Structure 1
Amino acid sequence: MRDRLRRMVLLIGALASLPLAARAEYPDHPITMIVAYGAGGQTDITARSLAPFIEKHLGNGARVITVNKPGAGGEIGFAALADAKPDGYTIGFINTPTIQTIPIERRARFTLDRLTPLVNIIEDPGVIIVRNDSPYKTLSDLVNHAKANPLKVSIASTGVGSDDHLAILALQRQSKAQFLHIPFTTSIDNYRSMLNGNTAASATNIAEALRGVQSDPVRVLGIMATARSPMAPSVPTFQELGYNIVMGSMRGLAAPQGLPDEIKTKLVDAIFKAANDPGFRKVAEETFQPLHILEPNEFTVELHRGDDEFRQLWTEAPWLAR
């Protein structure tokens, strides 16, 4: 009996000392993919269209389940990701600039250094859109009316500190106009407010705008990119219109800090292959998702570069009270 117990103890100790991969091939149960925004928004669309391709390239019967955790401008979802066990079974989308701006503007429940960037998927330039029947036929029309009527021209955004909000502030600084900023918690509410005539214009992203153009009477006044978008070649850039504004949102996948190297390698490989899969690229094109695929090191550099820029901006022009 004692010999049998001794053998069992030795066996358990030997199993515990084995690498994770030797104990159970990763992944051996479902992976949760957190989206820090509501269902139906651009991040949610990207996540749900990408998930089957991550499953395909992870193999081993992998399942990736998208879970929406909206609230506090993305803070609830980002914090849930940062707080999760770093075992490869929780990943999530992180969105610029809110992943950077939230910890700058308040004591947040997460910080950028508590996350492990994996692969960036999207870079979605900002735009301003109006209804087709709007009196503002051009960006100049919108700006000039706001200059003549301070705080009378309303522009909706997807929350304080979002790329939409920062773009509105940049346009105000450069044009000397004063808009009435109306923040919403989701991109859908932002868009619907403009569409229903409750706000004069919407600061949003090109993907959201082009989805709307397909079915709704909306007009895109300008795009905040360094060049015109191949998806909307007739839309002028803000730079062409006299405003040096380049703004948008990067959306990529990250994991909690402390992810084991072997799990990170497998995840990055699967996500990178998924993002480049012809099947996903077809879906991305059909849903106006501007792909900008970056490997971990490139993604990390971009995140920290943006963090430095927004911290400098905060010292010069804090956006919270605007």
Structure 2
Amino acid sequence: MKARHFFSSLLTSCALLFGATAAQAAYPEKPITMIVAYGAGGSTDVTARMLAPFIEKYLGGGARIVVMNRGGAGGEIGFAAIADATPDGYTIGFINTPNVVTIPIERNARFTLDRLDPLVNVVDDPGIMTVHGDSPYKTVEDLVAQAKANPNTITLGSTGVGSDDHLAMLLLQRQANVRFTHVPFPGSAENYRSMLGRHTQICGQNLGEGLRGKAGGDNIRILGVMSTQRWDMAPDLPTFKELGYNITMASLRGVGAPKGLPPEIRAKLIDAVTKAANDPEFQSKARDTYQPLRILDSEAFSAELKELDGDFRNLWREFPWLK
């Protein structure tokens, strides 16, 4: 009887172990939601929808990813939705700097950085300032001269308080001793359309957005790029440092998940996203749509977010950008 009980227990344990292994191996068994914390048509949305099919390809097993836009509050709603999700691998999303770092610094946010698991960074898109092609502002100095002569008369759109666009504006104000009127928008597409419609005079945005607009025939002028050196996709575009302003600002956009993923699922997601981002076809599409790629593994991505958190906390102590 004891022997039969022992073998029965052993068989049951093996069956349970086999079942658990089979369940893990079957991931994903249902569609995966990929959250974009901004509206449709913006840079993150473009990247997400372009990358998703390649992640599906490398996950295999008929994997399906559904991109869901959860815009609002500068990205807080979408980032919180990722952080609050069950950590089972069926909710992932894009996390964007600086907003994912600055929002918990500036207010009691619905998420904190340590509740997100950075898996793979994909894009590193430097900031720019764009005006309508018919604007009287041909250069950054034209802009500064007008702002000095007429404080608060030039409107500058951004993707929200604490965004890279907003912080870049504050840095220019500080270094040039000028004042603009800040106009926050829920996403980059709305911000860009406002400038095209001449409702706002300057569009703070990212390089990829501006270059896509120009390639699509939009009548715009890019005044400068906030990278450390000229970008190979726009070699004639001067950096703000060249123009006399110590402003470097960019948006890292990578895939993250809620903290606490099962190790096997986390490893599978990281492997699939890494292979997707390095896929030659995706990289070709990214270049054709002016998306500056910078692929970082989880460790490097996490380290960069931690460094940015320290930098922006220091900046907040110097001049809180909500005041």
TM-score (norm 2): 0.94
Matched AA of 1:140: E
Whole-angstrom CA distance in 1 between matches of 2:283 and 2:58: 15
1:291 match: 293
Structure 2: gaps of 5 or more residues = 1-6
Deviation at 1:237, TM superposition (A): 0.2
Whole-angstrom CA distance in 1 between matches of 2:322 and 2:207: 25
**1:161–1:8 CA distance, 2 compared to 1 (3 A):** farther
2:204 match: 203
Matched AA of 1:314: W
Q: Secondary structure at the match of 2:295?
A: strand
Matched AA of 2:174: R
1:100 match: 101
1:49-68 correspondence runs (5 A): 49-68=50-69
1:174-193 correspondence runs (5 A): 174-193=175-194
1:221-236 correspondence runs (5 A): 221-236=223-238
**1:18–1:319 CA distance, 2 compared to 1 (3 A):** farther
2:131 match: 130
1:22 match: 22
**1:19–1:163 CA distance, 2 compared to 1 (3 A):** farther
Whole-angstrom CA distance in 1 between matches of 2:10 and 2:78: 42
Aligned residues: 316
Match of 2:279 among 268, 273, 277: 277
Whole-angstrom CA distance in 1 between matches of 2:184 and 2:174: 18
TM-score (norm 1): 0.94
Matched AA of 2:23: R
1:89 match: 90
**1:191–1:22 CA distance, 2 compared to 1 (3 A):** same
Q: Secondary structure at the match of 1:304?
A: helix
Given that 2:24 and 2:265 are in contact with CA atoms closer than 8 Å, whether structure 1 keeps it comes out as no
Q: Secondary structure at the match of 1:91?
A: strand
Deviation at 1:20, TM superposition (A): 4.0
Q: Secondary structure at the match of 2:261?
A: coil
Matched AA of 2:166: H
Q: Secondary structure at the match of 2:148?
A: helix
Deviation at 1:22, TM superposition (A): 2.5
1:254 match: 256
Whole-angstrom CA distance in 2 between matches of 1:18 and 1:311: 48
Deviation at 1:10, TM superposition (A): 8.7
**1:23–1:242 CA distance, 2 compared to 1 (3 A):** same
1:71 match: 72
Deviation at 1:211, TM superposition (A): 1.1
- Identity percentage of aligned residues: 60
Q: Secondary structure at the match of 2:221?
A: strand
Over the residues paired in the alignment, what is the CA RMSD in angstroms? 1.8
Q: Secondary structure at the match of 2:28?
A: coil
Q: For residues 275-317 of structure 1, what are the alpha-carbon distances to aligned partners after superposition, in whole Å with 9 as ceiling and x for unaligned?
A: 0001101110111100000000000000010011111111110
2:100 pairs with 1:121: no
Whole-angstrom CA distance in 1 between matches of 2:152 and 2:119: 42
**1:294–1:24 CA distance, 2 compared to 1 (3 A):** closer
Given that 2:102 and 2:162 are in contact with CA atoms closer than 8 Å, whether structure 1 keeps it comes out as yes
Matched AA of 1:132: G
Q: For residues 50-100 of structure 1, what are the alpha-carbon distances to aligned partners after superposition, in whole Å with 9 as ceiling and x for unaligned?
A: 000001111111111111111111111111100111111111100000001
Given that 2:120 and 2:270 are in contact with CA atoms closer than 8 Å, whether structure 1 keeps it comes out as yes
**1:55–1:220 CA distance, 2 compared to 1 (3 A):** same
Matched AA of 1:102: I
Given that 1:15 and 1:23 are in contact with CA atoms closer than 8 Å, whether structure 2 keeps it comes out as no
Whole-angstrom CA distance in 2 between matches of 1:21 and 1:166: 48
